[in-house]
Amino acid sequence: MDLNRRRFMCVCGGALALGGCGGGEDDTPSQQTAEVHGCTLSAAAGTTALPGCGQPQASSGNAGLDQAFRQEFDYQRSFWNLPSVSFAFLSDCDSPNAYANPNNMAVLFGTTLAAQTYSKYGTPLPLWQVLAHEFGHMMQFVYGASWLNSGTAAPRELEADMFSGFYLIYAKAFVSPAEMQTSLQQAFSIGDYAYNNQNHHGTPLQRMAAVVAGGKVANEYFAGAIPQTVDAMRQRFYQELRQIISW
Ligand SMILES: [Zn+2]
């Protein structure tokens, strides 16, 4: 592990410009609690209205997974130099999702999403990709993302996917190609085709491509091909995004 890499974000500045997900996105269903607010992982959010659902939880229900989450969350928070971000699980019941709340900088990770994803792939890597997607939203909240406003949530969501790909190439480069592929499968699986819905997050192919593009930018970043700043990184994200969004 190259510790110089781990500290790279600490040298980056940026104006504080907190804001909502924007772009016309409204993924805060009225039946859910106030904590369940902000940018979501996928468009399939907010159908849960069962008693006891939509509440923060201290545990995923799997002690080993809880410990792995804590360790990974601390690492990602340090990686992005976002000490104010907090984490909790959420009883997402029959509506698996994850949230990044701009109001209290809390990541809420659904227990159903965690259990289903871990069971499906047999490795926690796709969970860390989802977590990195939520940190991508946190970066948007802190550094701004008004240029990603559009009729749908897709530009912001795809940029958050790029943040996750950037992180994976940095922090998980040691995993096998087969294991890395699970993260791309995860990104593909949560795409949607609701083009005319303001909560459209991007098609399956766009979501997977955004993760790949983020990894591509990471390689450029660490090779010194672009300035090592958040601004330069996101300018490259935007170039890639313009291509992906036009598909
Ligand atoms: Zn999202």
Give the start-to-end residue ranges of the domains of the chain. Answer: 20-245
Position 36 confidence tier, pLDDT thresholds 50, 70, 90: low
Q: Which of 80, 28, 24, 75 is nearest to 54 (CA)?
A: 28
C-alpha 41 – ligand 1 centre gap (Å): 4
C-alpha 97 – ligand 1 centre gap (Å): 9
Each residue's pLDDT tens digit, 166-183: 999 989 988 999 999 999
CB of 87 closer than 8 Å to CB of 107 = yes
Report the range out of 57-61, 197-201, 237-241 with the highest average pLDDT.
Answer: 237-241
- Range name among 27-31, 85-89, 162-166, 241-245 with the lowest pLDDT average: 27-31
C-alpha 227 – ligand 1 centre gap (Å): 26
Q: Which helix (H) or strand (E) holds 86?
A: strand 86-90
Angle separating helix axes 111-121 and 125-143, nearest 10 degrees: 140
C-alpha 154 – ligand 1 centre gap (Å): 9
C-alpha 16 – ligand 1 centre gap (Å): 20
Other CB atoms within 10 Å distance of the CB of residue 68: 16
C-alpha 6 – ligand 1 centre gap (Å): 24
Residue 5 scores a pLDDT above 90: no
CB of 182 closer than 8 Å to CB of 121 = yes
Tell me the residue type at 115: A
Averaged pLDDT, 34-54? 69
pLDDT at 38: 77
Position 21 confidence tier, pLDDT thresholds 50, 70, 90: low
Please calculate the CA angle 140-134-219 and round it to the nearest 5 degrees: 75
Measured distance between the N- and C-terminal CA atoms of the chain, rounded to whole angstroms: 37
3-state secondary structure of 177: helix
Percentage of the residues of the chain whose pLDDT score is greater than 70: 82
Q: Which two tokens stand for residue 77?
A: 């928070």
pLDDT at 22: 42
Confidence (pTM): 0.85
pLDDT at 54: 87
Residue 34 scores a pLDDT above 50: no
C-alpha 20 – ligand 1 centre gap (Å): 12
- Range name among 7-16, 41-50, 129-138, 156-165 with the lowest pLDDT average: 7-16
Write out the residues surrounding ion ligand 1, Cβ under 5 A: 39, 157, 160
Rounded CA-CA distance 162/242 in Å is: 12
CB of 108 closer than 8 Å to CB of 55 = no
Rounded CA-CA distance 234/227 in Å is: 11
Cross-strand pairs, 108: 88, 99
